[in-house]
C-alpha cells in the first residue's frame, strides 16, 4: 500500500475484494485523489469518491453494497453508473469509457474502454491521477500525465492537445479557470492559448452548466483571479457582456475615471474577504453594472454616472434570467442592494434628518448589515487617508442607523394599522382608499410626524380621514 488515506483504508479494501469477486479491476480516480495530495481530504466532513472499473460499474456497486451492508444503492442504467451513500462518503461507480465527439455536438459517443482510455478523456492532468485497488498493486499511484508534478508546480494543464480537450467539451475552459481560481494555480501557457483560441465554442454550452462553474468561481477565496482569466481569454464576452463593458477608461480634457471593471473585481474580493455569501458577492458584481450606460462628462464636475444604481437594479432581473440565476427572493435581494448601494454614504452629513435614516432602514430591512458591508467593500482607493476617512464616515452612518433603529424600530416595518381596522373605524368598504390611508400613515411615521406606535397611528388616521372619506 502506498498513498491510500488511512481513514478510508477499510472501505477501499472491501471495494478491492468486491472487484476481485466479480472479476473486475477497480481504481479510485479524480478529485479525491487530487485533493489527497493537496492535503484537502483529511479534515473534510463529507467525501465524494469516484471509482472506475474495467467492466460494469453497476455490477460492481451491487456487490460492494452487499458487502458494506449499505441499503441505499442508486442505479442509473442510462448512464451506466451507480451510487452508494455509506457513512460520510458518496461512492460513485462507473465503467471505464472512451469518448469521441462530432464537431457540432456536446454529446460524446461513449464506448467501453480501458483505464488508459478513461484517463485520456480527463480534463486536466491533476484530475487524471488514480490509485489501483487491485490485489497485485493495491494503493499504487497511476499518473500517466505527470499530474503530481503539475500539482507541485501549481499548474493547470490538459493531458492531451488543449484544442482537442476544449473542442470535445468547451465547458472544460470554464473548469480550467475555476480550478485555477479555487487552487490559485497558474494555467499552463499552451492550455491558456487553447482557451483563447476556442473561447467562442462556449456558445454551445447550456447556461445551466456555465453558471454552475461561474458560481464556483464567485465563491472562491479570491474570485477576481477567475474573472480576470475569463476576461483576458475572451470567455466572459460570450455570456456576460455587461460586465465586459465596464472595462476601459475614457479621458476628456485630461480628466479620467477609474476602470470600473477592475474596481468591481476589487469590490468582489473585498466582500469575499469578509465571508460574504454567494448573493452578496453577486450584489458586488452587479453594483456598478449600469455605469457605462449612465456615463457622462460634465464640464466643471468631471465624469458622472447619475442613476446607475436605479438602472443597474432594473437590469438585475434580465441578467439573472439570461445567466440562469434564480428569479426569486435571492434575485430581489441582489436588486435591493444594487438599488441602495449609494444611499448610506449620502447619510454622512450632520444635517441629514432622522427621516432619511428611517427610510433606509425601512427599505433595507434585515439586509442593512449586508448593505453596509457592500458599501465598505466599495472603498477601493489606494490612498490610505481616503480609505480611513471613508470608513470613519460609514462608522458615523452605522451609529445613526443604530440610534434611529433603537428609537423607532423601523427594521422589517409593518403598518401599526391594518386594513380591517381602517374599514371598521371609518365604516368604509374595501377599495383603493384603504391603501391610500395606510400609505399616509407610513409616510407620517417615516417623516417623524408621529411615532411608530399603534395609538399614534390610529389617532393620525382619524385626523386625516376627511381627506380620503367623503
**What are the phi and psi torsion angles at 412 (to 5°)?**
50, 45
Contacts of residue 197, Cβ cutoff 8 Å, sequence gap at least 6: 163
Residue indicated by cell numbers 441602495:
340
d(CA 61, CA 78): 15
What would the CATH number be for the domain defined by 6-153? 3.30.460.10
> Minimal CA–CA distance to 213: which of 189, 240, 188, 186?
240
Q: How far apart are CA 267 and CA 141, in angstroms?
A: 42
**Pairs from 403-407 (Cβ < 8 Å, separation ≥ 24):** 404/354, 404/357, 404/358, 404/361, 405/361, 407/354
Position 150 scores a pLDDT of 97
Q: Are the C-beta atoms of 388 and 370 separated by less than 8 Å?
A: no
What's the full length of the chain, in residues?
Answer: 470
- Residue 394 to residues 74, 266, 273, 345: CA-CA distances in angstroms? 53, 19, 18, 7
Q: Which residues is 155 bridged to in the sheet?
A: 186
Q: In terms of DSSP bridges, do strands 89-95 and 47-53 run parallel, antiparallel, or are they unpaired? A: parallel
What whole-number distance in Å separates Cα of residue 395 and Cα of residue 59? 63
DSSP 202: G
What is residue 120's predicted lDDT score, i.e. its pLDDT? 79
- Written as tens digits, the pLDDT of the chain (470 aa) is 456 777 788 899 999 999 999 999 999 998 999 999 998 876 667 789 999 999 898 999 999 999 988 888 898 887 888 999 988 889 999 988 765 445 555 555 555 667 887 787 889 999 999 999 999 999 999 999 999 999 999 999 999 999 999 998 999 999 999 999 999 999 999 999 999 999 999 999 999 999 999 999 999 999 999 999 999 999 999 999 999 999 988 878 777 778 999 999 999 999 999 999 999 999 999 999 999 999 998 887 888 889 999 999 999 999 999 999 999 999 999 999 999 999 998 888 767 778 888 888 888 988 999 999 999 999 998 888 988 988 888 888 888 888 888 776 777 788 889 999 999 888 888 889 899 999 999 889 888 888 888 999 999 999 898 888 87
CATH code 1.10.110.30 region(s) in the chain: 154-239
CA-to-CA separations, 32 to 42, 48, 221, 419, in angstroms, rounded: 11, 7, 20, 59
Rounded CA gap, 189 and 116, in Å? 25
Where does CATH 3.30.460.10 sit in the chain?
Answer: 6-153
DSSP 110-141: EEE--HHHHHHT-SSGGGS-EEE-SGGGTT-E
Of 266, 238, 262, 247, the residue nearest 323 (C-alpha): 238
Q: What's the pLDDT score for residue 8?
A: 83
pLDDT at 414: 81
Cα 184 to its chain centre, rounded Å, is 17
| Statement: 154-239 belongs to CATH 1.10.110.30 | yes
pLDDT reported for residue 87:
85
Q: Which of 169, 188, 170 is nearest to 180 (CA)?
A: 188
**What is the C-alpha to C-alpha distance for residues 390 and 384, in angstroms, rounded to an integer?**
10
Rounded distance between C-alpha atoms, residue 4 and residue 134, angstroms: 12
- For the whole model, what pTM was predicted? 0.87
48: left (phi over 0), alpha (psi -120 to 50) or beta: beta
Q: Please, which residues bridge with residue 132 across strands?
A: 27
Query: Based on the number of CB atoms within 10 Å of its own CB, is 135 exposed (0-12), middle (13-18) or buried (19 or more)?
Result: exposed
Amino acid at each position: 500500500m502506498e498513498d491510500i488515506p488511512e481513514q478510508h483504508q477499510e472501505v477501499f479494501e472491501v471495494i478491492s475484494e468486491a472487484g476481485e469477486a466479480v472479476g473486475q479491476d477497480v481504481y479510485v480516480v479524480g478529485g479525491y485523489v487530487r485533493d489527497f495530495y493537496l492535503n484537502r481530504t483529511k479534515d473534510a466532513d463529507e467525501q465524494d469518491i469516484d471509482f472506475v472499473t474495467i467492466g460494469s460499474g453497476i455490477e460492481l456497486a451491487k456487490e460492494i453494497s452487499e458487502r458494506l451492508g449499505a441499503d441505499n444503492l442508486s442505479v442509473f442504467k442510462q448512464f451506466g453508473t451507480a451510487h452508494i451513500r455509506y457513512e460520510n462518503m458518496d461512492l460513485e461507480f462507473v465503467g471505464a469509457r472512451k469518448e469521441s465527439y462530432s464537431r457540432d455536438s456536446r454529446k460524446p459517443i461513449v464506448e467501453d474502454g480501458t483505464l488508459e482510455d478513461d484517463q485520456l478523456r480527463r480534463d486536466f492532468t491533476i484530475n487524471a491521477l488514480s490509485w489501483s485497488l487491485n490485489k497485485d498493486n493495491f494503493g499504487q499511484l497511476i499518473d500517466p500525465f505527470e499530474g503530481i508534478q503539475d500539482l507541485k508546480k501549481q499548474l493547470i494543464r490538459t493531458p492531451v492537445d488543449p484544442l482537442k480537450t476544449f473542442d470535445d467539451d468547451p465547458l472544460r475552459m470554464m473548469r480550467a479557470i475555476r480550478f485555477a481560481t479555487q487552487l490559485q494555480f497558474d494555467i499552463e501557457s499552451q492550455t491558456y492559448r487553447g482557451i483563447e483560441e476556442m473561447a467562442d465554442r462556449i456558445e454551445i454550452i447550456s447556461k445551466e452548466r456555465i453558471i454552475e462553474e461561474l458560481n464556483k468561481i464567485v465563491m472562491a477565496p479570491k474570485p477576481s483571479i477567475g474573472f480576470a482569466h475569463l476576461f483576458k481569454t475572451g470567455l466572459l464576452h460570450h455570456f456576460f457582456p455587461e460586465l465586459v463593458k465596464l472595462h476601459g477608461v475614457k479621458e476628456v480634457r485630461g480628466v479620467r475615471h477609474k476602470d470600473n471593471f477592475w474596481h468591481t473585481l476589487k469590490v468582489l474580493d473585498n466582500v469575499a474577504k469578509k465571508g460574504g455569501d454567494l448573493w452578496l458577492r453577486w450584489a458586488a458584481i452587479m453594483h456598478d453594472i449600469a455605469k457605462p450606460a449612465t456615463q457622462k462628462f460634465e464640464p466643471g464636475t468631471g465624469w458622472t454616472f447619475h442613476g446607475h444604481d436605479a438602472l443597474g437594479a432594473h437590469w438585475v432581473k434580465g441578467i439573472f434570467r439570461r445567466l440562469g440565476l434564480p428569479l426569486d427572493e435571492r434575485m430581489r435581494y441582489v436588486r435591493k442592494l444594487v438599488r441602495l448601494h449609494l444611499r448610506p454614504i449620502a447619510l454622512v452629513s450632520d444635517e441629514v434628518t432622522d427621516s432619511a435614516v428611517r427610510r433606509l432602514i425601512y427599505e433595507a430591512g434585515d439586509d442593512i448589515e449586508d448593505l453596509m458591508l457592500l458599501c465598505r467593500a466599495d472603498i477601493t482607493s489606494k490612498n490610505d487617508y481616503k480609505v480611513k476617512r471613508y470608513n470613519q464616515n460609514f462608522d458615523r452612518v452605522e451609529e445613526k442607523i443604530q440610534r434611529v433603529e433603537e428609537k423607532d424600530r423601523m427594521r422589517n416595518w409593518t403598518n401599526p394599522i391594518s386594513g380591517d381596522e381602517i374599514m371598521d373605524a371609518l365604516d368604509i368598504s374595501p377599495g383603493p382608499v384603504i391603501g391610500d390611508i395606510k400609505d399616509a400613515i407610513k409616510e407620517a411615521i417615516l417623516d417623524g410626524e408621529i411615532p411608530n406606535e399603534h395609538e399614534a397611528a390610529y389617532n393620525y388616521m382619524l385626523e386625516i380621514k376627511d381627506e380620503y372619506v367623503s
